Amino acid sequence: MERELIRSEKLKVVGEMSAGFAHEIKNPLTTIKGFIQLFYEQNGHVKENYYQLVIEEIDRVNNIMNDLLNIANPNPEEKKAEINIDQMLEDILALYSSHIYKNHIDLETFFHGSLPVVEMDANKLKQVFINLIQNGIEAMPDGGRMNIRTTVEDETDNSSHVIIQVEDTGVGMDKETIEKLGTPFFTTKKTGTGLGLTTSYRVIEEVDGALNVSSEQGKGTAFTIYLPAKPAVKGSRTSADKAEK
Ligand code: ADP
Ligand code: MG
pLDDT per residue as tens digits for the range 40-93: 888 877 677 788 888 888 887 887 787 777 666 655 556 789 999 999 999 999
Residue 61 has a pLDDT of: 86
Residue 63 has a pLDDT of: 75
Give Cα separations from 37 to 29, 34, 50, 53, 147 (angstroms). 12, 5, 12, 12, 43
Residue 26 CA to ligand 1 centre (angstroms): 25
Residue 86 has a pLDDT of: 98
- Classify the C-alpha dihedral 125-67-138-91 as positive or negative: positive
**Whole-number Å distance between alpha carbons of 138 and 143:** 9
* Global confidence as pTM: 0.77
The CB of 183 under 6 Å from ligand 1? The reply is no
CB 85 within 8 A of CB 164: yes
Residue ranges for the chain with pLDDT beneath 70: 1-17, 46, 70-78, 155-158, 233-245
Residue 69 has a pLDDT of: 75
**Whole-number Å distance between alpha carbons of 105 and 99:** 9
The CB of 109 under 6 Å from ligand 1? The reply is no
**Whole-number Å distance between alpha carbons of 29 and 23:** 10
The CB of 196 under 6 Å from ligand 1? The reply is yes
The CB of 70 under 6 Å from ligand 1? The reply is no
Atom of ligand 1 at shortest range from CA of 199: 6
The CB of 12 under 6 Å from ligand 1? The reply is no
* Strand boundaries in the chain, DSSP class E: 2-5, 80-83, 105-110, 118-121, 144-154, 160-168, 210-216, 220-228
128: Cβ contacts below 8 Å, ≥ 6 apart: 199, 200, 203, 204, 225
- Classify the C-alpha dihedral 7-8-13-18 as positive or negative: positive
Query: Which ligand is nearest to the Cα of residue 189, counting in written order?
Result: 1
The CB of 181 under 6 Å from ligand 1? The reply is yes
Probe residue for ligand 1, chosen from 100, 179, 187 as the CB with the greatest number of ligand atoms within 8 Å: 187
